[in-house]
Amino acid sequence: MSAQSAELAEILAGLKQPQKMISPKYFYDERGSQLFDAITHLPEYYPTETELGIMLDNIDEIADLVGPNASLIEYGSGSSRKTRALLEHLHELAVYVPVDISEDHLIATARKVRSEFPDLEVLPVVADFTQPFALPDPTITPLRNVVYFPGSTIGNFTHEAAQDLLGVMYQEAGADGAMLIGVDLQKDPGIIERAYNDSAGITAEFNLNMLTHLNREFGFDFDVGAFSHSAVYDPDEGRMVIELISGRDQVVTAGGEKIEVADGEAILTEYSHKYTLEGFADMAQQAGFAVRKVWTDADRLFSVQYCVRA
Beta bridge mates, 275: 185
CB 303 within 8 A of CB 279: no
How many Cβ atoms are within 10 Å of 158's Cβ, its own excluded?
Answer: 12
Mean pLDDT of the chain: 94
What is the pLDDT at residue 304? 98
pLDDT tens for 80-137 read 688 999 999 999 999 999 998 878 878 988 999 999 999 999 999 999 899 999 999 9
CATH number, position 68: 3.40.50.150
Highest mean pLDDT among 62-66, 97-101, 110-114, 150-154: 62-66
Pair 184, 155: CB distance under 8 Å:
yes
Q: How far is CA 176 from CA 72, 94, 141, 144, in A?
A: 14, 15, 14, 6
Lowest mean pLDDT among 152-161, 179-188, 258-267: 152-161
Q: Are residues 133 and 155 in the same domain?
A: yes
**Residue 77 in this model has a pLDDT that exceeds 80:** no
With beta carbons less than 8 A apart as the criterion, state whether 242 and 196 touch.
yes
Q: Do 50 and 113 sit in the same domain of this protein?
A: yes
Q: d(Cα 52, Cα 88) in Å, to the nearest integer? A: 14
pLDDT grade for 251, boundaries at 50, 70 and 90 = very high
Based on the structure, what is the number of domains in the chain? 2
**Percent of the chain's residues with pLDDT above 90:** 86
> Can you spell out the DSSP letters for 120-153?
S-B--EES-TTS--PPP--SSPPSEEEEEE-TTG
Q: Are residues 51 and 176 in the same domain?
A: yes
Query: Which domain does 218 fall in, by range?
Result: 3-39+190-273
Whether residue 155 sits in one domain with residue 256: no
CA distance 10 to 22: 9
Average pLDDT over residues 9-38: 93
264 with 216, same domain: the answer is: yes
Residue 78 has pLDDT above 70, yes or no: no
Long-range pairs for 205-208: beta carbons < 8 A, 24 or more residues apart: 205/35, 206/27, 206/32, 206/35, 206/36, 206/39, 207/27, 207/231, 207/242, 207/244, 207/269, 207/270, 208/244
Average pLDDT rounded to a whole number, residues 25-48: 91
Between β-strands 227-234 and 178-184, what pairing exists: parallel, antiparallel or unpaired? unpaired
User: Are 88 and 182 part of one and the same domain?
Assistant: yes
One domain, residues 102 and 139: yes
- What pLDDT score does 79 carry? 52
